[in-house]
Amino acid sequence: MELMRKLLLFVLLVSLIPVSLIKAQSRPLLSKDSLGIYNRVLSPRAMKEDLQLLRNIGDKTNSGLYRYRTKKQIDSIYNWAAASVKKPMRVTEFYKIILQLADFEGSCHNYTIVDQQLLDYLNRQRGFFPYDLKYLEGKIIFNHHTPEIPAGSRILSINGVPDTTLMKSFYKYFTGDGYTITQKLTGSVQRAYGIRYLLEYGVKDSFAVRFTPPYSSEVKSAVLPAVTLETRKANLEKRYSASLDSIIDYNVQPKYSFRMLDSSTGLLNFRIFSMASGADDPAFPVYVRFIDSVFQLLDKKAIPNLVIDIRSNPGGSDPTFEQPMMYLTDHPFKENTLAYIIFDRDDIPFRKYFWGVSTSHKMTPEEEVAGRQFLKDNYLPYSNGRSYQNPKYNPVYYPKQPAYKGHTYLLIDENTASAASHLSSLVKAYARNTTIVGVETVGGYYGHNGHSPLVFELPNSRIKNQFSMVYVVQDAPVKPDIPEGRGTIPDIEVWQSYEDFMQLKDTQMEYVLKLIREKK
């Protein structure tokens, strides 16, 4: 049990590392190390076999396959995929088809990647876009001061591809729960120009950029030489907005922290919910005592305002995110009202193609033994097509004292996912005196597929597909402003503005502080 929990936490952390940061090396000189070797040509028969296997695996193991789509809709997109592979194509082209299948399902826990050898080859190339880009107000904004292009310039095209076409081409790489699109918007710019650009558009020697400088309509051009991944990484550290971005970066900030912004406002930050792998982790009571000390202080000093910031928090382990919630509500709550898998806990289907619980790590026999024990412990015997969660892992959480009596402001954004978006759902559902500010979360309000990942490798293309196997209905009462299949929608929608970006201001935090000032 403990081994499996640690393994699942490892999977979470590994999956959050951008694939563009994996194993960067200089370009090799050996002729045998060529793209043609790793980016193989697949026959129509091989691709159709992989597509049929993927569908069969989904039907037998993926409880979220038909969560937001009807069988007719899933049939339709798989028919489209089959019709798209009538001629031989390379792995990367087939990969783009598989990405669209995974994206169509509607789960932010879906993740699809090509074989590691192909990734390694691409990461060795001098083919990377050298600088960082920002999504602001629907535009691609250059995020560096360079002699060729000033910071704040609007990018109109790269290598002849218009900005809107570029952005839409990357939507399929960013899966969201249900029908959410907010993460697709920013991800298509801010997380697209590492390895994803190479997978989508191939290795380029240079980038012809058309742009307009800040506060100008004059169209200019520049040619930027491609760089190695190591050079790109070094450049990213010097990006214009680095100091602003670091505020909500879990790689930079503590996992959790608290400070007083002034005498009347406290700020409680949760950058990632991996501070403990479970209730039996020695770090968990330390974290619980910290949370209690914060609310003791807020109560003792009668602090009227509390800002809780979970922007760009990618999630983590239960029961970490429930802890602050108990001080914010008068209502008992549970992690979920329903959770199940659709296969027999004692027999993982398609064992021949089962890879493990992480795309970067093939499960060892010892880990598989622990995994089977985890399933047996966490799920009841299979009956009528389902193995339900063992009730002992879904306890009731009761309100704690001292209850916070002031006004809470919850900050969320399009990268608030998994356990963090689950916390936002609970806050929306049950918290007292709360205003939610920011952008709709990528994680669902009413439910998600989560808890435990499964990875299967398609034998012909060697593409790996990861999804979370547990169908979860969250403890989230119906809200008139949140349709089915959407994330937690803020009470006040606030995006980062271009003007604030240029002045390196945190638009969303500034908005909350303005609300507090105006309340006085």
Last residue of a domain, one of 195, 213, 239: 239
> Do 202 and 303 share a domain, yes or no?
no
Whether 495 is in a domain gets the answer yes
Residue 142: both structure tokens together: 């250059």
Q: Three-state SS string across 60-98, please?
A: HHCCCCCCCCCHHHHHHHHHHHHHCCCCCEEHHHHHHHH
Q: What is the band of 19 on the pLDDT scale with cuts at 50, 70, 90? A: very low
pTM of the model: 0.91
Listed residues 210, 239, 268: the one ending a domain: 239
**CATH code for position 232:** 2.30.42.10
Residue at token pair 């590392």: 17
Quote the number of domains for the chain.
Answer: 2
Can you tell me the distance from the alpha carbon of 342 to that of 348, in angstroms, rounded to the nearest whole number? 10
CATH code of the domain containing 511: 3.90.226.10
Residue 363 lies in a domain: no
Residue-level pLDDT at 33:
58
User: pLDDT confidence of 17, banded at 50, 70, 90?
Assistant: very low
Please tell me the predicted confidence (pLDDT) of residue 3: 38
Mean pLDDT of the residues in the chain: 93
SS3 category, 422: helix
The candidate with the shortest Cα–Cα distance to 94, out of 193, 102, 194, is: 102
Give the Å distances, CA to CA, from 437 to 49, 295, 341, 405, 509: 47, 21, 34, 19, 9
Residue spans of alpha helices (H) in 379-493: 418-430
Query: In terms of domains, do 306 and 220 share one?
Result: no
Peptide bond between residue 391 and the one before it cis (omega within 30 degrees of 0): no
How many whole angstroms separate alpha carbon 393 and alpha carbon 318? 10
Tell me whether strands 206-212 and 154-158 are parallel, antiparallel or unpaired.
Answer: antiparallel
> 227-266: per-residue pLDDT in tens?
999 999 999 999 999 999 999 999 999 999 999 999 999 9
- The Cβ-side half-sphere exposure at 384, using a 13 Å CA radius, reads 1
Range of 316's domain?
A: 256-330+399-446+482-519
Coil, strand or helix: which one is 406?
coil
Render pLDDT for 107-165 as a digit per residue (tens, 0 to 9). 999 999 999 999 999 999 999 999 999 999 999 999 999 999 999 999 999 999 999 99
Same domain, yes or no, for 157 and 182? yes
